[in-house]
Structure 1
Amino acid sequence: MSVTASSQPVEQQFFNVIQERRSVRSYDSEVKISREEMNEILQQAALAPSGANLQPWRFLVIDSQELKQKLLPIAFNQQQVIEASAVIAVLGDLESYKLAEKIYGMAVDAGYMPAETAKSFVERYQGMFASMPQETVLQKVSIDGGLVSMQLMLVARAKGYDTVPMGGYDQAKFVEAFDIPERYAPIMLIAIGKAAEPGHPTLRLPIEDVAFFNEMPKA
């Protein structure tokens, strides 16, 4: 697909953000991200897509040094926990369908859909999700949590910050230590801050090893 000269610089800026993102594990502990800027990052991240637009992600931003110390052993003593400006716990709300009326009501107020359409969507999705097995709901919110997490990391890079996604932590101890209600499922932790040392470059498999057209290889 061709691009116009006017759109090319914007496209290249976007590609630069993608290519410059690294998983950073060493942070400048003197750099603090303000609550205002953190909210801006999260607001942009939350533009990610989600099933039925239910937006099941929830963010617990841990920026207190005392609480980061509390998190450290739960995260298997990974030093980025205490060095980074904050650690963002991305949680999946297993009862996000309860906000369907508010979400679709906002769409009506914005003129994006008629009230009757919104009403039918609310009834459909509240009934569907309320009757789903919890394992199925967890799978759905985990997918949406992954989408918002990737967007969050790219937004952070665009604003000059660095991140690392962390799946290595004791989820049960995290839930207990931070008093997480049962309706919220931990998806991942994301350390965010300013790199003290750059993340090392990594390589990816050739695209022909991972992408196939119309049919999968037999072996």
Structure 2
Amino acid sequence: MKNNDFKDIVFNRHSIKSFHKDVKISHDEILEMIEEATKAPSSVNMQPWRFVVVESEEGKEKLRPLIRFNTNQNDTSSAMIIIFGDMKCYKNADKIYSKAVENGFMPETVKKELMDLFMPAYKNAPKEKMNDIVKIDSSLSAMQLMLIARSHGYDTNPIGGFEEDQIAEAFGLDPKRYVPVIIIAIGKADYTPFESVRLDVEDITFFK
């Protein structure tokens, strides 16, 4: 049974470093959670996030040396979900906008206007700009995935410490096209996490 308590999902989420090893998550449920996570917003709806779910012993052995400071999460989690940003996400633009037209979400004329307006900018964007776009968008899906995982009864740990220059190629992706953003360890916590503190909102907010 899913947890629909918004406050519990958001305010009782914790980063978990150790999981019950015997907990497995079905492919159907993982796909369901990822599908829900992709409801996150993205720039001009280009949806640049790509997910590699590492769950097999072979996959985790391949990942292990690439996350030297986070091996316990790798060894105990149900899965390690690597989120990449697709630097050529604009190649799906026609597919995305055509589907929107088919579903009655926009007329063909708006599709053409959007394609004419945004696609040249995306195709000609400097590498640094595209890198920022896909990382921001993919991070939004990552946060949403962690909250959705909690609603499904699972715990997560976002991991940013890994060998960024090796991880795409290790899992058969073109490293020039797919930028590693974050890894989400998912499973069932095998301990009660400590509470953590946050800076006072008055110290980090500025009204002008």
Shorter-chain TM-score range: over 0.9
Q: Residue type of the partner of 1:197?
A: Y
Give the Cα–Cα distance (whole angstroms) in 2 for the partners of residues 66 and 198 of structure 1.
29
Q: Give distance in 2, aligned partners of 1:58 and 1:76.
A: 23
Alpha-carbon separation, structure 1, partners of 2:91 and 2:170: 26
1:21 aligned counterpart, secondary structure: coil
Mapped partners of 2:145, 2:192: distance in 1: 19
Within-5 A mapping of 1:61-210: 61-76=53-68, 78-181=71-174, 182-210=176-204
Length, aligned pairs only: 203
Other structure's SS at 2:11 match = helix
1:36 pairs with 22, 25, 28, which one? Answer: 28
Aligned-pair CA distance for 1:66? 1.6
Output the CA distance in 1 between the equivalents of 2:192 and 2:50: 29
CA RMSD of aligned residues (A): 1.1
The offset of 1:59, in angstroms, is: 0.4
1:116 Cα deviation from its structure 2 partner: 0.8
The answer to whether the 8 A contact 1:63-1:85 is kept is yes
Aligned to 2:41: 49
* Structure 2: stretches of 5+ with no match in the other structure: none
TM-superposed CA distance for 1:32, in Å, is 0.3
Aligned residue identity for 1:155: I
Equivalent residues of 1:74, 1:174 under 8 A apart: yes
Runs of at least 4 residues off by over 4 Å: none
The TM-score with structure 1 as length reference comes to 0.90
Q: Return the letter of the residue paired with 1:192.
A: I
TM-score, scaled to structure 2: 0.94
Preserved CA contact (<8 Å) 1:108 1:118: yes
Cα separation, 2, equivalents of 1:176 and 1:46: 24
Residue-by-residue CA offset, 1:99-137 (whole Å, 9 max, x unaligned): 111111111111111101101112222111011101100
Name the aligned partner's letter for residue 116 of structure 2.
Answer: E
Contiguous gaps of at least 5 residues in structure 1: 1-9, 215-219
